[in-house]
Structures are given as C-alpha cells and as structure tokens.
Amino acid sequence: MRDKLIEKGSNPKTFLQKITIRLLIISLFTIFILFSAFLLADKLFPLTLKQNSSAQTVLASDGTPLWRFADKNGIWRYYITVDQVPDYYLQALLNYEDRHFYHHIGINPLSLLRASWQNLSNGTIVSGGSTLSMQVARLIDPHKRTFWGKLKQIFRTLQLEWHYSKTDILTLYLNYAPYGGTVEGIGAASWRYFGKPPSALTRSEAVLLAVLPQAPSRLRPDRYPERAKKVRDRALDRLTEIWSPDIIEQIRHEEVWVYPRKTVQHAPLLARRLVKQYPNLSTINSTIDFSLQYSLEDIAMNWKDQLPAKNSLAILVVDHTTMAVKGYVGSVDFKDNKRAGQVDMITALRSPGSTLKPFIYGLSIDEGMIHSASLLQDIPRLTSNYRPTNFDEGFTGPVSATDALKKSLNLPAVQLFELYGSKKFTAKLRSAGLSLTSIGGEPNISYILGGASVRMDELMAAYSAFARGGMVSPLRFIKESDEILDSQAEHRLLSTGSAWITKQMLLNQNGVTYKTGTSYGYRDAWAVGFNPRYLIGVWVGRPDGTPVVGQYGAVTAVPILQQVNTMLLNRERNLNRPLPVDIKPDSVSRVTICWPTGQKLPADDPNCHRQKQAWILDGMIPPTLDLLSIKQVRNYRTDRITVWLNQEGKRTASDCSGAVRREIALWPIGLENWLLPSERRSNLIPPIDEKCPPFGQDTFTPLIITGLVNNQIVRLQPNQKNVLIKLKPQGGSGHKWWFLDGELKGNLSEYEPFEFQLTSTIHKGKHTILLLDESGQIARVNFRFE
C-alpha cells in the first residue's frame, strides 16, 4: 500500500500533515461551537450570586460582631475578604480541597475521571471530584447529585471562572461554605466556635475550619469534638510538604476546644438603625468601641432596678475630636417589654427641658447682648397666657448670666430668648442640624424651657459646639478608613470665643462640663455634658411619656453621667493617652465690671454698686439689658439718668443757681423688691427741690397696693362665714396681675380694682397678695385671716 501511494506521487509526511490540519480545524471548530454555545447559555441562564443576601452583621470598630441579622432562611453570615484570613488557613484549605486551584479553569479533568471511576466501581457516589470553584458553583446554585446535576455544576463553574477572578471565587467560598447549623462562612464560624475573628485563628483552628465544610453537621466541633479532631489530624497529612514536622506534631497534640456559646447581642438599637440605613451592606463597620459598649450596657443594667417601674434610660457617648459614636445604649434593657426596651430613646422625640439654655447664652454673647457677668432679672413674669416660673417656684432677683445658667433659672433665659427672637434661635439650631418641633409648629417663648421636641442624637451633635470651638458636625456611626472629619459637613454655630465663655459658665464637676434638663411634669430627665475628649448624653424617663414625680435631671440623670465620665477618664489614663488641652482663645479677655450698668467703672465710682468678674468677647462690654416688655416704657428704662443737683443734693432745673450735673445708674425696675434699700430708685434718685423743680420730670412711680396694710389681721364678724376683700393698685404701669399665694387670681386693666372672697372653712391662716405690673414692678402684702 505504501508503495502504491509512493507510485502515485504521494508523500507520507504530506498526508499526515493534512490529517493533522483537518483534525486541528475540526477541533477549533468544535471549540468555537462549544464556546459560542457557552456564551449563548451564559446569556440565557446568567449566574446569580448571593451578593444581595439579607444576612447582615454590625461590627464594632475592632471587628467584633455587635449584632447579627440572619437572612430569610435564618442563616448567619459574617462577610470577610481573603486578606482577613491567615495565610496558613489558605494553605490548609487549598492543600485539602484543591491544590491546583490557581492553575485550572475551574474543572480538574483528572479529578473528575478519578471520581467517576470510584463511583462506577462502588456502584454509588463516593467522590465528587469537585474543585473549589465547583463547590462554590454548588453553593450559589444547588443541584441534585445526578449526572445532569453534575453537568449543571460544571456549567456554573465555567461561568464563575469566566466572570470572576480566582480571588473573587475564593472570597465566595470563604463566605458561603457551610459550617453547621445556621452558620455559613468562616467569618461566622470563627466567631461562633472560637469567639474570635478569622485573622486571630491558631493553626489548629484554621485546619479544623478548612475541613469542616465537607461534613458540617457530622463534624460540628461543639457536638462531636472527637470526630472533628480525627478529620483535622488527617488533613495534617497533606500539609507535611509545606509545614514543619514540629508544627504538625504540636497541632496533633491539641484538643478541639470550642468557645462557650454566646449570642451576639450588643447595641441592638444601633444595629437596627444601621441596617435600615444601609440595607445593601452585608457587613456594617460601626465606630462603636466594643469594650466601652459592653461597660455602658452593664451600667444601664445596674441602674435598671433603681429606676421606677416602666422607666427606661439612654446613654450616648461620642468622641468629639472625630464625632465618632463610641457607645450607644438606646434603652435600659432591649428584652424588657415592660420598659419598652425596643423603643430607641436616642432617636425618639422628647422635650429637652432646660438643655437648650446654653445655646441662647452662647448666641447672645455672639450677638453682643451679654457677657458672662451681665445683670439679668430672675423675677415673676407673665406674657400673654404663658407664665414661666423657676423649677423651685422661687425667684432670685438680680443674677449674673453665669449664675443664671449654672442654676438653670428660667426667667433670665426667657429674658434673653425674647430679646434674641424665637424664630431666629430656632433657625440657628436648625442650620446646625438640631430641629425643634412642636404641635403648633410655630417657634415661641416656651421653646427655651422645653416646649419643643428634640432627638437626643441631634442634641448631642449640637452640644459639640461647646467642645469644638463653636463648630458642629453630624455624628459618625460608620467607620471610615481615613478617620478624618468631613470639613464640608461642619457648621459654625458659635464663635470660638463665645463657645469657650459659655463652657466656663456651665457646671463643671469631676472633669465634666454639663447641663441638666427636666421637662414639664417630670416626663424627661436629662444630663448632657462633655469632658476633654467625649460628649456624654443621658436621658431617663418613661417612653410612653407618663410623668414620674420626683424624677429630674440633677437627681436622676447626673449620677449616671458622672459614673460614665469617671469610667471614660479612667480608660484614658489606663491607655496613657493625653487628653486634649482647652486653650483660651485670643478673642476672650477678663475684666471687672460693675452692676447695675454692666460696664467697667472705677471701684470708688458711686454708680458701681457691685463689682463682678466677667469674660468678654472681642473687648466688647455690653450694657445691662432691659426686659423686652419695658424697653419702650421710658419711665422705667434701665440706664443712667442725668439730673441736676443743688448744694443740698436735691434735684433742680439745670438753669437753677449752683446746679451741678450728675449721672445716676439705675437698676432694672423689676428688681426693686430684691435690692438693698440703698440700691432702690427711691434712694438713688434725690428728692426734688420745690423752690426750683426740674421741668416735666417724673422718673419713677412706685407700685402700691391699697386696701390692706402689710401684716394686717383680717377677722370674721359674728355670724359671718365669708369676708370680701377689695384692693386697688396705685402707681405702676399698664396691665396688672394679682396673685394669691402664688396662684393667679386676677388679670385686670391698669386701674381696675381686685376683689376676692375669704371663706372660714378654706382660707384660715397666713396669706400673701402679690401685684405685678407690665414693667415688672412687684408689690406685696402679707395678712392673716382668723
């Protein structure tokens, strides 16, 4: 035959070349057809990964799980990346599962042939021959263990290799491999079985977790430690080529020990808040300090039994140098339904009580209205239908801005609030991220005393202005790689100087500067403060808004704030971390001023009645303020008046013989009842010289009650059960309000008489009548009814 071919002129080499070419063409054509078919199938049956799984884990800043949310199938998964597991785990995994992982296209034909021969020889499936990529394909698209199921698995594997890198495929395996029960992925398994992140696994633990997915239910180390140890030791045989004999021998002697099972349950309300905010993140890296969070939850639980029934509390700790939230306790006990433990009081709208007062003082300083020692008026007031009083129902009279803020007096705050403007104040806070809301919706005078609702987290962010030189920034809940504040998110609420001065005016105990607050009816008790590094907020009350008598900020919330502050400062000392230093701004200086003018005067000046030390801003010394209600009433204006005195010291006309000009500083008219006799207008303003009186000058008309004299005894006549008392006002200015023992009884026009009846069965004993006019003057009469 060979000779015939030669005779016909054929060359054997040429013939073989033709056959080779034809086979190559057929092979290439076949590959093309198969590849085209694969691409078509890939389009028709796209690979869908579990990236949108609803399983989520909220982590502390150090990677410790705080709370986990299972997916719709109840599976817990803690997403990690390849660089978060130790190299020796990857060595154990790849040597046990797929040594040629980085060199094949997802399918290892030799392994498939070997598995097929074993399965045919035994008449049953004893080996799958699956590569790591094929296992991932089965995890994301499960199939039956049949021939057609295997083909489907191969197709999905090729899709994986076509669309994803080896690192991506390995990452999928790390997060979806089964580890027994409701645990999937090495991240969840590491925390579940060993109580640590994957990066902290020992070699023994790493080998065990590398082999566990092959039979997760049968090899669970918490149930079958001996089985798990045998399989782990068999896996060590495959590592002899890359690990030293000493290491392998050491691991063989280690027993399988599982971390005591603890449910991941910390910061539940924060976790719920974050998963709502970031529903597409499988792992949410929060800014929470795990050890601090644990301590805060322990503090809350210890206070639980000391609180009245159905009361809850909230604690929020923020590092104001970065605005990162470090501790978040939204309720006293998440599991206590009787205390509404699942209601997050950090995001709930509540009355802030007096916690807004520092803002009106800081803004007033910036506005040039006051300095730290400005004279304010703590006196009874009545504006329309709103009658603010102090917490203790008493009044101080003349008070400095600093003392008014430290003592949380209501009336001085209302005085500033009226002059500054409720709408302007509300807009300022809103621009800084603190929204004030009320039923009426219109800003009004009650806002400064807690008549609006706020969120604790927004209030805390606003308080950062006092700790950060007047700058306000939103709270940070998510850990960022650069850990740097976004300057665009910052907002200046106060000047640096005003923030510093206001901070000096607040209470400061044990290294924490703070303000308390109590809402109307004892519904909310607050303490909000800051130390050199942290903002601390504490709220106590009933989530349903029911009043709790005797519950107020200084008694209920401050002890918790002080306990948290002490713990924080001790932590800083233990960490040997120096605290930020608070330096007085150059715009702030200290001066000695005089009351009543609020100005700088020599100590021997007759108009310097009382000296005070004051912090001032930009060298400005604002004069004493009037109440808004009397700013336009000339006769009662606070300021200096100019008089002309004769040689006898009496007031006279300027053109009278020997008249000398003199300025007299007057105290606010409403303070008359609280002043020393020498400071009252009746003593400050000299009498008029009848021989040469000043023209048209009537500086002061005192307010007097007629109809009863002070300390009078009122007796019933025989056969009388009631007595009608008739009183009239004399002097003063404008509308009059009459009070009997502190209770408003009459709201009358300027000269209208006031009548009330005393009954023998009700009113026997001592009583006080108080008369208040529009200028703030007060007249009192005490009497006894027998």
**Token digits for 529?**
């403060």
Query: For residues 288 and 63, is the Cβ–Cβ distance under 8 A?
Result: no
State the first-to-last Cα distance of the chain, in angstroms, to the nearest integer. Answer: 152
Q: Residue 35 corresponds to which tokens in the numbers above?
A: 């590849």
CB atoms within 10 A of CB 572: 15
Exposure class string for 605-630: b at 16+ Cβ within 10 A, else e: eebbbeebebbbbeeebbbbbbbbbb
Angle, CA 519 vertex, CA 516 and CA 521 arms, to 5°: 135
Catalytic member of 286, 354, 422, 498: 354
Which tokens hold the place of 768? 């006080």
For residue 98, the Cα-to-chain-centroid distance in whole angstroms is 49
Active site residue 97: yes
Long-range contact pairs involving 498-501 (C-beta distance under 8 Å, separation at least 24): 498/362, 498/363, 498/365, 498/366, 498/470, 498/617, 499/362, 499/465, 499/466, 499/468, 499/469, 499/470, 500/469, 500/582, 500/584, 500/585, 500/588, 501/362, 501/365, 501/371, 501/372, 501/588, 501/615, 501/617
Distance between CA 60 and CA 289 in Å, rounded?
Answer: 6
Helix pair angle (132-140, 147-163), 10° resolution: 100
Q: Exposed, middle or buried: residue 552 (CB in 10 Å: 0-12, 13-18, 19+)?
A: buried
Alpha carbon 524 to its chain centroid, in Å, reads 16
Active site residue 663: no
CA dist 70 and 52 (Å) reads: 13
- Residue 489 has, within 13 A of its CA and on its CB side, a CA count of 12
Which residues are within 8 A (CB) of 399 and not within 5 positions of it... i.e. 6 or more apart?
375, 376, 377, 378, 407, 409, 412
Going by DSSP bridges, is the β-strand pair 76-77/183-184 parallel, antiparallel, or unpaired?
Answer: parallel
Could you give the CA distance from residue 524 to residue 539 in angstroms, rounded to a whole number? Answer: 7
Q: Measured between alpha carbons, how far is residue 565 from residues 292, 318, 428, 526, 696 in Å?
A: 12, 12, 29, 15, 62
Tokens matching residue 206: 């790493």
DSSP 81: -
| Catalytic residue chosen out of the listed positions 61, 97, 297, 408 | 97
Identify which of 243, 94, 95, 66 has the alpha carbon closest to the alpha carbon of residue 167.
94
What's the rounded Cα separation, in Å, for the pair 621 and 615? 9
3-state secondary structure of 147: helix
Token reading at 767: 């009583």
Which amino acid makes up residue 781?
Answer: V
Give the three-class secondary structure for 14.
helix
Inter-CA distances, 332 with 298, 543, 676, Å:
10, 11, 50
Cβ contact 449:413 at 8 Å: yes
- Cite the active site residues: 97, 354
